[in-house]
Amino acid sequence: MLSVRDAHARVIAAFEALPSEMVSVADAAGRVLAASPQARLTQPPADLSAMDGYAVRAADVPAAPTTLTLVGQAPAGGSYDRALQPGETVRIFTGGPLPMGADSIVIQEDTKADGPRITILEAPRVGRHIRKAGLDFSAGDTPLAAGRTLTTRDVALAAAMNHPWLSVYRKPRVAILSTGDELVMPGEPVGRNQIVSSSGIAVAALVRGWGGEPTVFDIARDDAKLIESRIEAGAQHELLITLGGASVGDHDLVQAALKAQRFDMDFWKIAMRPGKPLMFAARDRARVLGLPGNPVSTMVCALLFLKPAMERMLGQPGDLVRTVPARLAVDVKQNDQREDYVRSRLGRDADGTLTVDPHPVQDSSMLSVLAACDGLMIRPPHDPAREAGDTVQVVDLHGLPGGY
Ligand SMILES: Nc1nc2c(c(=O)[nH]1)N[C@H]1C(S)=C(S)[C@@H](COP(=O)(O)OP(=O)(O)OC[C@H]3O[C@@H](n4cnc5c(N)ncnc54)[C@H](O)[C@@H]3O)O[C@H]1N2
Ligand code: MOO
């Protein structure tokens, strides 16, 4: 059976960056930059005051108190256009441009005004409360690299750089097909022996959260012709995700339907738990990732394979999910030949070290366990028995993009 690493490598090799499109900067949060925007101006454009107060020449106030003559004002968006002469001061506001000749700002709390006579109560320091031109960025700067998923902070910066439009990768269109006679949609009447289809909803949410555009097909009954026609419709998207029907049972029809539709199987079955019957197939530009039906297997495989595939379409490397070291809270037995992704709870030791406590129940049908856990402990194939206190690798589910 293929290793997780090799399966991941084969999946990401099959995807490349989609074409770019322009979007309004107002709609760009969460999108991935296809081209790095250059700052179109320098910010601040001139030396500005950081405070409400008075612009002065520090040399005029060697000691406080000293009284200066008010000669004008410089609000944000306005300016005082003459040079400040010895003994003069200009009323200035936060964001107001520093008058020529001035070299310091005295905040208004440190002054006393009596008509045009302004008494400075604190001796100023050269450069105090002045934001120099270009403090934030200069025209031509490229602080946002292509390939970056734009945060709202990035969007604020791009807008400040005077970009009303940004070049981003088109969203990958991902079709999602749940298969199985037993499935009904949430809220529908649930007949005898039926269960609610949760995975289609979860995968659609993941696709959206990872920057794609999901299309959720109606659930397909275990009918070969019906599944084939849905696969054909799915092939019109960048990627079709099938859910269930991946294993070896008489009702597991997805692989046969793919073959009937002339898809080549890249691989089927990998050395992973949960997620053994993972399937990957291609025909021309169409790609199908067949996720195993057990809902926890679906979710773990989505994180390991769907997310990187989407990242590739968004011009990113598509690395395997990041792991961090953690200290085992309990002893664990030797692992078998499948790489294990053990649903676990993360915590902190008294010394602040990340700890991992595997959940005692690991059935891949149990969404309640997955939801209660916040980490996946990775047991490599044939990993020997480990003791409490040993260091292992974990996937920290907190703060993953897309709200996993
Ligand atoms: N003889 C063998 N049996 C099984 C093997 C095997 O190697 N040999 N592998 C097991 C493993 S591991 C997994 S994982 C499952 C995966 O099987 P399928 O991909 O064929 O999934 P189904 O049989 O269709 O469904 C499994 C399970 O999941 C439920 N399911 C399916 N779709 C959804 C959905 N959209 N939302 C919620 N739940 C869903 C389905 O009702 C079943 O209970 O096979 C093992 N068997
Ligand atoms: O791989 Mo199955 O995913 O063990 O339940």
Ligand 2 atom at shortest distance from the alpha carbon of 363: 5
pLDDT over 90 at 247, yes or no: no
Beta bridge partners of 72: 90
Could you report the per-residue pLDDT of 199-210, keeping only the tens digit for each?
999 999 999 999
pLDDT over 90 at 107, yes or no: yes
What stretches of 196-284 show up as alpha helix (H) in DSSP? 199-209, 224-234, 254-260
- The greatest distance separating any two alpha carbons of the chain, rounded to the nearest whole angstrom, comes to 95
Other CB atoms within 10 Å distance of the CB of residue 142: 13
Name which residue sits closest to atom 4 of ligand 2, judged by CA. Answer: 274
Q: What does DSSP say about strands 111-114 and 48-49: parallel, antiparallel, or unpaired? A: unpaired
Other CB atoms within 10 Å distance of the CB of residue 281: 25
Q: Does domain 48-131 have CATH number 2.170.190.11?
A: yes
- Confidence label for 402 from pLDDT (cuts 50, 70 and 90): confident
pLDDT over 90 at 345, yes or no: yes
Ligand 1 atom at shortest distance from the alpha carbon of 197: 36
Give the pocket of ligand 1 (CB within 6 Å). 178, 180, 182-183, 195, 197-200, 243-249, 252, 274, 276-277, 292-295, 297, 364-365
* CA of 209 relative to ligand 2 center, distance in Å: 24
The pLDDT score that the predictor gives to residue 399 is 86
Block residue for tokens 């070969």: 224
* Distance from C-alpha of 230 to C-alpha of 201, rounded to nearest angstrom: 17
Nearest-5° angle of CA 289, CA 292, CA 295?
A: 120
Q: Report yes or no: 153 and 30 within 8 Å, Cβ to Cβ.
A: no
Ligand 1 atom at shortest distance from the alpha carbon of 252: 20
The pLDDT score that the predictor gives to residue 21 is 98
* CA of 1 relative to ligand 1 center, distance in Å: 18
Q: Torsion-angle region of residue 305: left (phi > 0), alpha (psi -120 to 50) or beta? A: alpha
Mean pLDDT of 292-299: 97
* Distance from C-alpha of 347 to C-alpha of 330, rounded to nearest angstrom: 13
What are the structural domain ranges in the chain? 4-18+171-313, 28-43+142-169, 48-131, 324-403
* Distance from C-alpha of 1 to C-alpha of 16, rounded to nearest angstrom: 26
The pLDDT score that the predictor gives to residue 246 is 86
- Confidence label for 250 from pLDDT (cuts 50, 70 and 90): confident
Could you report the per-residue pLDDT of 146-190, keeping only the tens digit for each?
999 999 999 999 999 999 999 999 999 999 999 999 999 999 999
Counting ligands in written order, which one lies closest to the CA of residue 295?
1
Instruction: List, in order, residues 6 or more apart from 43 with CB less than 8 Å away.
Output: 134, 135, 136, 137, 138, 160, 161
Is residue 251 classed as helix, strand or coil in its secondary structure? coil
Residue among 188, 199, 222, 247 whose CB has most ligand 1 atoms within 8 A, to mutate: 247
Torsion angle of C-alpha atoms 114, 118, 119, 121, degrees rounded to 10: 120
Please name the amino acid found at residue 375. G
Name which residue sits closest to atom 30 of ligand 1, judged by CA. Answer: 293
Block residue for tokens 């760009």: 28
* Distance from C-alpha of 247 to C-alpha of 255, rounded to nearest angstrom: 9
Beta bridge partners of 203: none
Nearest to 312 by CA among 9, 20, 32, 15: 15
Q: Report yes or no: 107 and 53 within 8 Å, Cβ to Cβ.
A: yes
Q: Which CATH superfamily groups domain 4-18+171-313?
A: MoaB/Mog-like domain (3.40.980.10)
Q: Report yes or no: 373 and 397 within 8 Å, Cβ to Cβ.
A: yes
pLDDT over 90 at 249, yes or no: no
What's this model's pTM, rounded to 2 decimal places? 0.92
Class of domain 324-403: mainly beta
* CA of 366 relative to ligand 2 center, distance in Å: 11
* Cis before 292 (ω within 30): no
DSSP labels for 36-102?
PPPPSS-BSSS-EESSSEEEE-GGG-SSSSEEEEEEEEE-TT----SPPPTTEEEEE-TTPBPPTT-
Q: What percentage of residues in the chain have a pLDDT greater than 70? A: 100
Rg (C-alpha) for the chain, rounded Å, is 31
* Distance from C-alpha of 308 to C-alpha of 275, rounded to nearest angstrom: 16
The pLDDT score that the predictor gives to residue 252 is 84
Say whether 48-131 and 4-18+171-313 share the same fold.
no
pLDDT over 90 at 248, yes or no: no
